[in-house]
């Protein structure tokens, strides 16, 4: 069987078709060359978090919360052939620090940004976080198989100031409390397993350690790399002591640049080397409970597009230099105007935001070689570009709305499943047409995701070096997210495929 060698062949046919109305049209057909023998990362998951709305929505009436869970997790198909949901493969569970119990005294004004904790001043209250536990179970029932617990802050009972956010950017937990923090995490992991039957695959003790977390906007805690080393060491010991198979995830960096250098945060950056270079004083790579993953968040690095690609290529190179290390993009939503690429504040449930998100996913997966990609707020009550699903800010029930961002993520998450490998594809060097390809070796299935951010339609042919279609004949399934619909399924004979302007298309096919 000959190897498929990927070389871009652009066949441009320019023709002008005169009509009685005097309309001229130009059509371009692009032939892409795919080499399924040349592979990159293995995808591990696509996910989102339950912060903060699931604490309330999980207690809503069954109809609403089940519909929302279906959108997020379901791999079922509707009668018309369209997907019922986006099939997330990982769910992030926020292990709260207790600002909800503190109420207004917590200093966090918005109660929707507070979080419950199982820890009380005396012992535990295992009746907490019931709404979130409902979503955890709903995810499992719909086929999600990977679960991650994360802390934004240690429990208030263990912090220096007895708050769930810091004072003046100082780490809010002292070293003598690390063991208690780790022991609590182990107890939570065991409780969740006992209560739901779900074992947490990952535990993430530190979130965006570079920020000060001193404004009371939400739970949060800053850490230096030295602090993180101490926390991870304690967590590793607690996992061993309790014979837990849960793996530790670090570092959930607040900005990609801190994986690469100290930049403007001395002692808080250069985290690939700090934690996974064996000569470093903060080396954690030898700890049995630490998964060899370095995690970071894509905020502030998504525009302009060339710079977004450049920093992710640097991450890919630095991670590749450490044997066995992988990179996860573990939190993102659209913040700010992104160098003018996202005009206007407030929600954008349409294709403008969806195409932007799809491009960010592309940059992380293709330039950054990310093995996982995870969203921030799965459910948002806010007038902001932070939710896959939007709800009324009502604790007891209300309206809920999907967004095109949900389905844009679904163009990846529903079809690029854990265990699939990214394969080489040569495509035009353009910011408006972004193409990635993935193979399922077991089932000889190829998935191609096309993001067309341009205002012109595109025609694509997927070829092998002999000039024949890379597909093994038969029909292709295509799923299109556009202004006209989301993940709209169509079947067509293998061959040329037309991509609508301003759309995201996933193509499924058998390959040679």
| Residues 50, 483, 14: CA angle, nearest 5 degrees | 130
Which of residues 379 and 24 earns the better pLDDT score?
379
Quick one: average pLDDT of 126-154? 98
| Residue 108 buriedness (CB in 10 A; 0-12 / 13-18 / 19+) | buried
387 lies in the same domain as 262:
yes
User: What would the pLDDT profile of 220-243 be if each residue is shown by its tens digit?
Assistant: 999 999 999 999 999 999 999 999
Confidence of residue 23 (pLDDT cuts 50, 70, 90): very low
15 lies in the same domain as 88:
no
Q: Read off the tokens for 215.
A: 């404004």
Q: Read off the tokens for 322.
A: 């450490």
Closest C-alpha to 438, from 474, 405, 398, 411: 411
Residue 53 forms part of a structural domain: yes
35 lies in the same domain as 133:
no
User: What would the pLDDT profile of 192-215 be if each residue is shown by its tens digit?
Assistant: 999 999 999 999 999 999 999 999
Predicted confidence at residue 134, as pLDDT, reads 98
Crossing angle of helices 130-141 and 62-73, in 10° steps, is 50
Number of domains in the chain: 2
99 lies in the same domain as 33:
no
Quick one: average pLDDT of 82-101? 98
Residue 296 forms part of a structural domain: yes
Distance CA 207, CA 94 (A): 11
163 lies in the same domain as 103:
yes
CATH number at residue 365: 3.20.20.80
Cβ distance 365 to 436 under 8 Å? yes
Distance CA 437, CA 428 (A): 14
Quick one: average pLDDT of 400-414? 98
Q: What is the DSSP string of 463-481?
A: E-TTSSBSB-SSEEEEEEE
Boundary (domain end) residue, out of 394, 418, 442: 418
Residue 265 forms part of a structural domain: yes
Residue 4 forms part of a structural domain: no
User: What would the pLDDT profile of 370-386 be if each residue is shown by its tens digit?
Assistant: 999 999 999 999 999 99
Q: What is the 3-state secondary structure (H, E, C) of 42-70?
A: ECCEEEEECCCCHHHHCCCCHHHHHHHHH
**Residue 60: is its pLDDT beyond 70?**
yes
CATH number at residue 22: 2.60.40.1180
Q: What is the DSSP string of 381-442?
A: -SSSTTEEEEE-S-TT---EEE-HHHHHHHHHHTTS-TT-EEEEEE--S-SSEEEEEEEETT
Domain region containing 32: 9-41+423-510
Residue 2 forms part of a structural domain: no
Confidence of residue 24 (pLDDT cuts 50, 70, 90): very low
Predicted confidence at residue 401, as pLDDT, reads 98
275 lies in the same domain as 228:
yes
**Residue 21: is its pLDDT beyond 80?**
no
Predicted confidence at residue 236, as pLDDT, reads 98
Residue 277 forms part of a structural domain: yes
Confidence of residue 470 (pLDDT cuts 50, 70, 90): confident
CB atoms within 10 A of CB 10: 12
248 lies in the same domain as 155:
yes
User: What would the pLDDT profile of 268-283 be if each residue is shown by its tens digit?
Assistant: 999 999 999 999 999 9
Closest C-alpha to 135, from 404, 391, 403: 391
In Å, what is the CA distance from 146 to each residue of 40, 108, 142, 446?
Answer: 22, 31, 12, 23
Name the pairing type of β-strands 326-331 and 372-380.
Answer: parallel
Residues 6+ apart with CB under 8 A from 33: 4, 5, 6, 7, 8, 9, 425, 426, 463, 464, 465
Boundary (domain end) residue, out of 418, 440, 460: 418
398 lies in the same domain as 258:
yes
352 lies in the same domain as 499:
no
| DSSP category for residue 293 | E
360 lies in the same domain as 287:
yes
**To which residue do tokens 């913040």 refer?**
335
Boundary (domain end) residue, out of 418, 444, 461: 418
364 lies in the same domain as 430:
no
Residue 499 forms part of a structural domain: yes
141 lies in the same domain as 281:
yes
**Residue 19: is its pLDDT beyond 90?**
no
3-state SS class at 127: coil
């Amino acid at each position: 069987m000959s190897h498929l060698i990927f070389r871009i062949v652009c066949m441009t046919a320019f023709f002008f078709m005169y009509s009685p109305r005097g309309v001229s049209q130009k059509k371009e057909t692009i032939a892409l060359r795919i080499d399924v023998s040349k592979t990159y990362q293995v995808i591990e998951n696509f996910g989102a978090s339950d912060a903060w709305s699931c604490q309330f929505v999980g207690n809503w009436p069954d109809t609403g919360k089940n519909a929302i869970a279906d959108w997020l997790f379901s791999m079922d198909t509707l009668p018309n052939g369209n997907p019922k949901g986006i099939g997330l493969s990982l769910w992030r569970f926020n292990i709260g620090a207790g600002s909800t119990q503190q109420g207004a005294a917590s200093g966090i004004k918005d109660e929707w940004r507070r979080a419950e904790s199982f820890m009380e001043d005396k012992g535990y209250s295992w009746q907490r976080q019931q709404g979130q536990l409902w979503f955890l179970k709903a995810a499992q029932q719909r086929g999600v198989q990977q679960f991650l617990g994360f802390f934004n802050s240690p429990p208030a009972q263990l912090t220096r100031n007895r708050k769930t956010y810091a004072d003046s950017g100082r780490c809010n937990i002292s070293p003598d409390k690390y063991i208690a923090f780790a022991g609590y995490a182990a107890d939570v992991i065991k409780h969740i397993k006992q209560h739901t039957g779900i074992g947490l695959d990952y535990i993430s003790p530190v979130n965006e350690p570079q920020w000060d977390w001193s404004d009371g906007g939400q739970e949060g805690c800053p850490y230096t790399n030295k602090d993180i080393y101490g926390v991870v060491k304690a967590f590793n010991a607690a996992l061993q002591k309790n014979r837990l198979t849960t793996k530790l995830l670090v570092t959930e960096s607040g900005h990609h640049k801190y994986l690469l250098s100290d930049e403007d945060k001395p002692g808080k950056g250069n985290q690939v080397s700090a934690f996974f270079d064996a000569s470093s004083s903060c080396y954690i790579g030898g700890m049995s409970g630490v998964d060899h993953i370095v995690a970071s968040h894509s905020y502030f690095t998504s525009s302009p597009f060339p710079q977004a690609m450049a920093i992710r290529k640097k991450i890919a190179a630095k991670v590749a230099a450490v044997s066995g290390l992988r990179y996860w993009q573990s939190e993102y939503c659209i913040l700010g105007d992104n160098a003018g690429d996202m005009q206007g504040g407030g929600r954008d449930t349409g294709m403008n935001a969806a195409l932007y998100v799809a491009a960010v996913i592309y940059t992380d997966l293709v330039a950054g070689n990310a093995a996982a990609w995870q969203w921030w707020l799965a459910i948002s009550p806010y007038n902001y570009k932070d939710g896959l699903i939007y709800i009324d800010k009502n604790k007891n029930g209300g309206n809920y709305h999907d967004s095109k961002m949900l389905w844009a993520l679904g163009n990846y998450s529903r079809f690029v499943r854990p265990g699939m490998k990214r394969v080489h594809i040569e495509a035009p060097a353009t910011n408006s047409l972004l193409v990635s390809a993935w193979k399922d070796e077991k089932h000889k299935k190829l998935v191609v995701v096309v993001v067309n951010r341009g205002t012109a339609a595109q025609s694509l042919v997927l070829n092998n070096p002999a000039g024949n279609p890379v597909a093994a004949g038969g029909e292709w399934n295509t799923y299109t997210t556009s202004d006209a619909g989301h993940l709209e399924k169509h079947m067509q004979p293998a061959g040329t495929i037309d991509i609508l302007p301003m759309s995201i298309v996933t193509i499924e096919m058998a390959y040679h």
